[in-house]
Amino acid sequence: MRALLIEKDDQGYRAAVQNVDEANLPAGDVTVEVAYSTLNYKDALAITGKGPVVRQFPMVPGIDLAGRVTQSDSPDFKPGDEVILNGFGVGELHWGGLAGKARVKSEWLIPLPKAFSARQAMVIGTAGYTAMLCVMALEQHGVTPERGEVLVTGAAGGVGSVAIALLAKRGFTVVASSGRSEEAEYLRTLGAAEVLDRSILSEPGKPLQKERWAGVVDAVGSHTLANACASTRYGGVVTACGLAQGMDFSATVAPFILRGVTLAGIDSVYCPREKRLQAWDLLARELDPKLLELVAREISLEEAVAVSGELLQGKVRGRIVVDVT
Ligand code: NDP
């Protein structure tokens, strides 16, 4: 099978497409013929070696996959079943989706939602499913469209693009924060009512600022997250899922203890199965397939290394879907 393989040894850290013997696939009770995988921010860190994502070598990256079961020792899946996988350390600790085949644990798999093709599910991928987890958290904490505007940071990226579409569909007034003014039209087509220059949020700011946001979906971290908390309205909710600006978080407790703001952490990797299924079910019902095409860019396995570099430079719009066949 063809696979993107990451190796690290005396010659350094490198990723390249190679022919790999299927006998080298790791242990697991289900084998999947992969049709599509994706490139998320984390995959780009793994492929370029710019972040400590891969913890075992050699590694096949790819935290997402969609394909068809070819062999199964699990009563839950049979050959021919269409499945998807997001996270669970796949592409980090266990060989992932950027290969012709993957052998995984059955409990990591969920059936491909009927509303989506394998390709559409991968256009959504971990980034889109995480956007849905953020929207679900806002709802669980009582944020409704009547409460006011919702801020989405890292707006032209994968999480941001899908979050805008989902929030707009639910009737929220969405304000998109982006460093790319040339993508303003794209962000408005997805459903943003207003586009802010991200520099407004990305520099150190005051502990408490003018109250504006009823809710926030933050894919960026660092000063952006601190400023988002500082400008969230009384009782508002900030969902933190990303670190595209940085992992640091220099903030004060002022928004939390004086305005009752809630900071909700979002993890997609080990999110329980029931919540995953709920998120995918909501994605199937609420995401406009036409907007998915607007968000998608398809590449081949061979292009994955070069595009990973572009992604980390913030040059990729929306989502990258990888045709591994
Ligand atoms: P993308 O690269 O697609 O999007 C990130 C966006 O952040 C960019 O498009 C850019 O948007 C913005 N950005 C990039 N660099 C900076 C910077 N220096 N300062 C401010 N903004 C910046 O990544 P994804 O959408 O796939 O992921 C976003 C984040 O969410 C990542 O940190 C990722 O690791 C995290 N994540 C976390 C998950 C979880 O389970 N918690 C799951 C999925 C993702 P623009 O050009 O519009 O400003």
Q: What is the pLDDT of residues 158-176, one digit of tens each?
A: 999 999 999 999 999 999 9
Q: Please name every residue paired with 237 in a beta bridge, in sequence order, or none if there are none.
A: 215, 262
Cβ within 8 Å of residue 284, ≥6 positions away: 113, 114, 115, 116
- Ligand 1 atom nearest residue 311's Cα: 2
| Per-residue pLDDT tens digits for 81-136 | 999 999 999 999 999 999 999 999 999 999 999 999 999 999 999 999 999 999 99
What pLDDT score does 240 carry?
98
What is the separation of C-alpha 102 from the centre of its chain, rounded to a whole number of angstroms?
20
- Ligand 1 atom nearest residue 130's Cα: 42
Angle (CA) 216 219 222, round 5°: 95
Domains 2-112+291-323 and 126-265 share a fold: no
Q: Ligand 1: does its nearest atom lie under 6 Å from the Cβ of 151?
A: no
Phi, psi of 101 (to 5 degrees): -140, 155
Q: Ligand 1: does its nearest atom lie under 6 Å from the Cβ of 100?
A: no
Q: Ligand 1: does its nearest atom lie under 6 Å from the Cβ of 264?
A: no
Which residue's entry shows tokens 């933190």? Answer: 240
Ligand 1 center–CA 309 separation, angstroms: 14
Asked whether the bond before 58 is cis by omega within 30 degrees of 0, the reply is yes
pTM over 0.90: yes
Give dist(CA 319, CA 178) in Å, integer.
Answer: 15
- DSSP strand pairing (192-197 vs 174-178): parallel
Angle (CA) 172 176 179, round 5°: 175
- Interhelix angle 273-286/118-140, rounded to 10 degrees, is 110
Q: Domains of the chain: which residue ranges? A: 2-112+291-323, 126-265
Q: Please name every residue paired with 15 in a beta bridge, in sequence order, or none if there are none.
A: 6
Give dist(CA 110, CA 117) in Å, integer.
Answer: 14
Taking alpha carbons only, the member of 121, 143, 144, 148 closest to residue 287 is 121
Q: Ligand 1: does its nearest atom lie under 6 Å from the Cβ of 255?
A: no
Q: Two tokens at 173?
A: 């007034």
What pLDDT score does 311 carry?
95
Q: Ligand 1: does its nearest atom lie under 6 Å from the Cβ of 219?
A: yes
Ligand 1 center–CA 313 separation, angstroms: 10
Q: Ligand 1: does its nearest atom lie under 6 Å from the Cβ of 222?
A: no
What pLDDT score does 18 carry?
97
CA dihedral 29, 31, 36, 38 (to 10 degrees): 40
CA atoms within 13 A on the CB side of 41: 22
- DSSP reduced 3-state for 303: helix
Q: Ligand 1: does its nearest atom lie under 6 Å from the Cβ of 178?
A: yes
Q: Which CATH superfamily is domain 126-265 in?
A: NAD(P)-binding Rossmann-like Domain (3.40.50.720)
Task: Report the residue among 43, 85, 134, 159 best suited for mutation to probe ligand 1: largest number of ligand atoms under 8 A from its CB.
Answer: 159
Q: DSSP assignment, residue 198?
A: T
Q: Ligand 1: does its nearest atom lie under 6 Å from the Cβ of 244?
A: yes
8 Å CB contact between 150 and 170: no
| Per-residue pLDDT tens digits for 238-291 | 999 999 999 999 999 999 999 999 999 999 999 999 999 999 999 999 999 899
Q: Which CATH superfamily is domain 2-112+291-323 in?
A: Medium-chain alcohol dehydrogenases, catalytic domain (3.90.180.10)
